[in-house]
Structure 1
Amino acid sequence: MVSALASVATDDHARLRLWLRLLRTTRAIERQLRERLADAFDTTLPRFDVMAALDRAPEGMMMGELSRFLLVSNGNVTGIVERLVSDGLIARGHRDGDRRAAIVRLTPAGRTQFATMAAAHARWIDELLAPIDPATAQDITATLTAFRSQWEKEA
């Protein structure tokens, strides 16, 4: 009976260590991306994230959709969008003539700038994760996807 309890305790610590390792790794990669985006493009990771979301939605997104997609508050997105609009990288309009339904989309200049940043971002990720071979990366991705799918079902 004692060995069964010891095994459970070890398993619990293994999951805790996994969580901490995932968190540290994510933070380290994110820190590198923030620094590189600032140095190479004089931009921030949140600006990049907003542009990436809009790049996936060429028809544009409503502000609320954008906030939900990015998992941040409307207030956070509004400030970023305002700056991107003033920089000419995002255009703001209204859906179906409804002035209350603001929709934002990348401008042609925004698409061009984002394509350049996205290519650099992809190279940086490849460089930062180079020690992980592609097969292992696929296995880890599949495991995390399965975990997330199970977790989302319970929520």
Structure 2
Amino acid sequence: MSDLSKRRLKTWIRLLGVTRAAENRLRDYLRREHGTTLPRFDVMAALWRRREGVTMSELSRMLLVSNGNATAVVDRLETDGMVRREAEDDDRRRIRVRLTPGGLAAFETMAVGHEAEVDAIFAELTETDLDRLREILARAGKNEAGRSE
């Protein structure tokens, strides 16, 4: 193994550690402050971005999870009155999921705190650091996206 290869491996381990620590902090924040979970927040965020609603298949693709996982989260959100399912007019078999007015308000409240937590997680990074990091991650993503399986 070359020195550069070892450095890449150590970088991957560091990146994974930072990601897991940040995710754990956000999970804890959402549980403590809003009585919710990160998957529920993620579903609500996806639906907030697509106010017209999405099909379950679209939601699964957006979140990179299985249809079963997305369905389980949506079921709980629907029970809590945060989302609703609606059959499409032109094809009653296709169901769109969207935030309810209460779900929209709840998400927007959670999103403010979530942003503040993310800001605190990255508080030690300057604007220049963030710009460099985004550029580096974009390059790394392009390299991965270009791979063929």
CA distance in 2, matches of 1:11, 1:35: 36
Q: Find the aligned partners of 1:126 and 1:38 in 2 and give their Cα distance.
A: 18
Q: 1:134, 1:118 → 2: CA distance?
A: 22
TM-score by length of 1: 0.91
Q: Secondary structure at the match of 2:69?
A: helix
Question: Which residue in the other structure is 2:56 paired with?
Answer: 63
How far apart, CA to CA, are the structure 2 residues paired with 1:146 and 1:55?
Answer: 28
Q: Which is bigger in relative contact order (C-alpha 8 A, separation at least 6)?
A: 2
Identical-pair percentage: 44
- Count of residue pairs the alignment pairs up: 148
Could you report, residue by residue, the CA deviation over 1:95-153 in whole angstroms, capped at 9, with x for unpaired residues? 23423211101111111100010110000000011111121011101111122123213
Q: Which runs of 5+ in 1 are unaligned?
A: 1-7
Does residue 101 (structure 1) correspond to residue 94 (structure 2)? The answer is yes
Partner residue of 2:139 out of 130, 146, 149 = 146
Q: Which has the higher helix share?
A: 1
Question: TM-score, structure 2 length as denominator?
Answer: 0.95
**What runs of 5+ residues in structure 2 fail to find an aligned partner?**
none
Displacement over 3 Å in runs of 4+: none
* Deviation by residue 1:11-65 (Cα, 9 ceiling, x = unmatched): 0001000110110100000000001100000000000000000011011010001
**Greater Rg, structure 1 or structure 2?**
1
Are 1:48 and 2:41 an aligned pair?
yes
In structure 1, C-alpha distance between the alignment counterparts of 2:87 and 2:135, rounded to whole Å: 39
Aligned pairs for 1:1-155 (under 5 A) are 9-155=2-148
